Amino acid sequence: MTAFHHSFDPTSLREYDIRGIVGQTLRPEDAFAIGRCFGSIVSRGGGTKVAVGYDGRLSSPEMEAQLVAGLRACGLEVLRIGCGPTPMLYYAAYALQADGAVMVTGSHNPPNYNGFKMMLGKKPFFGRQIQEIGRMAAEGDVVPAAIGSDRQVDISEQYVSRVLEDWDGGDRALRVVWDPGNGSSAEIVKKLVARLPGTHFVINGTIDGTFPAHHPDPTVAKNLEQIIAEVAREKADLGIAFDGDGDRIGVVDDEGHILFGDQLMIVLARDVLKQKPGGTIIADVKASQVLFDEIAKAGGTPLMWKTGHSLIKAKMAETGSPLAGEMSGHIFFADKWYGFDDAPYSAVRLLGIVARMQGRLSAVRAALPQVINTPELRFDCPDTRKFGVIQEVKDRLAAEGAKVQDVDGVRVLTGDGWWLLRASNTQAVLVARAEATTEAGLDRLKAQIARQLEASGLAAPDFSGANAGH
């Protein structure tokens, strides 16, 4: 048999997953190679079973078939759970006692992208482990070819039943609009709403990899315009939107206002801390200072951590945190759940809270301290330069005696508020964000970011129109 060797496009091996443009930087033969290398890692660790799922993208079925072939060639049993959300695959890894799991998904990227998210045992597989896949493929460092097996396992009803076990909203009949965005959680949403109390309206509820209604990224306000209109039309209590593979959530209140990731975390954290007083609640460096302050007020221990779902999961396990979240809408429950990011589960927990509320969700949002901030601003910076720029900024700030939190890039605290500059782990970009209590204060913070970038020879991002209250 011909010896196995394979070269990946280097841009496809990311920090948290493998991802690329189908037919350009990612091809079916890459999927086979991922199966062959990841399967070898599982096999060498004594594992025998790997769970595999895929999202609704047009390229996913072929990618999944090649991935399965690669895993089988390692002598493994492959448990194929079919098309569904990424968290259902994570759940399958626990429920089916798999030794590893691979999800074929392009997440919230454009339709011509696809990728792979992995778990080894019950832990995220990321960083150096993903680079190791590249090395193994290039060197042909895999277990001898063998004949494994595969079988279809429909775990959707079991997953939905387990999610609903933690429904705690009683019988209050909420009116809820759901938008799975034609993504891979669409069928799961239909199964959930059929068993939840209340009246439910599902829009874009057919899995369609062309995403005909809007791009499946609920962190972008434009993508929520349809659900906002539907919430108003149906006089709903709230609206819930998911990204393309169902691991990120977006929320709209009864007045049509977006609850950003950090505002949603405040609602969830207050509830969790009633049962887990003093618990460590983790949020990423992009979150509002309001979130960290409100966690402390609710009797919790706030912890600011690095952006990235794999990094957050690892920190949760280390600290015993019952809840974590990111501005991007990844919400991680380890309270009653398994510690992975799961939008359908987070939605059910949120609905339980809203059902038990005396008032409306909009009143909770309106009562939060009001701040003005920029959205996440992303601008190009070569991969070879981005981390160097951050180090230069750190050095200058240290010389100036600035108050800096440096868990992930630099988050600078001033009398006006704070500003953040960090390097993306997944793209050749720098990410900036700022928050203040006044417009004038925010302008001063943006000027500080611009000054630091210019000192490193980079043009400042376009801040025009980049203020939003929340």
The identity of residue 230, as a single letter, is E
107 included as an active-site residue: yes
> Which range among 63-67, 343-347, 378-382 shows the weakest confidence by mean pLDDT?
378-382
pLDDT at 351: 98
pLDDT at 414: 96
Q: Where along the chain do its domains lie?
A: 10-154, 158-366, 372-469
pLDDT confidence tier of residue 466, bands split at 50, 70 and 90: low
Domain 10-154 matches domain 158-366 at the CATH topology level: yes
Q: Does the pLDDT of residue 469 top 60, yes or no?
A: no
- Mean pLDDT of the residues in the chain: 95
* Domain covering 158-366: architecture: 3-Layer(aba) Sandwich (3.40)
pLDDT confidence tier of residue 15, bands split at 50, 70 and 90: confident
Q: Report the pLDDT averaged over residues 149-166.
A: 98
Q: Report the pLDDT averaged over residues 332-337.
A: 98
pLDDT at 464: 65
pLDDT confidence tier of residue 198, bands split at 50, 70 and 90: very high
Catalytic residue among 12, 59, 107, 328: 107
> Which range among 277-281, 293-297, 320-324, 425-429 shows the weakest confidence by mean pLDDT?
425-429
| Topology annotation, domain 372-469 | TATA-Binding Protein (3.30.310)
Q: Does the pLDDT of residue 33 top 70, yes or no?
A: yes
pLDDT confidence tier of residue 468, bands split at 50, 70 and 90: low
pLDDT at 371: 94
| Topology annotation, domain 10-154 | Alpha-D-Glucose-1,6-Bisphosphate; Chain A, domain 3 (3.40.120)
pLDDT confidence tier of residue 27, bands split at 50, 70 and 90: very high
Q: Does the pLDDT of residue 332 top 70, yes or no?
A: yes
Q: Report the pLDDT averaged over residues 391-415.
A: 95
pLDDT at 130: 97
Which is it for the CA torsion 100, 104, 108, 113, positive or negative?
positive
pLDDT at 465: 57
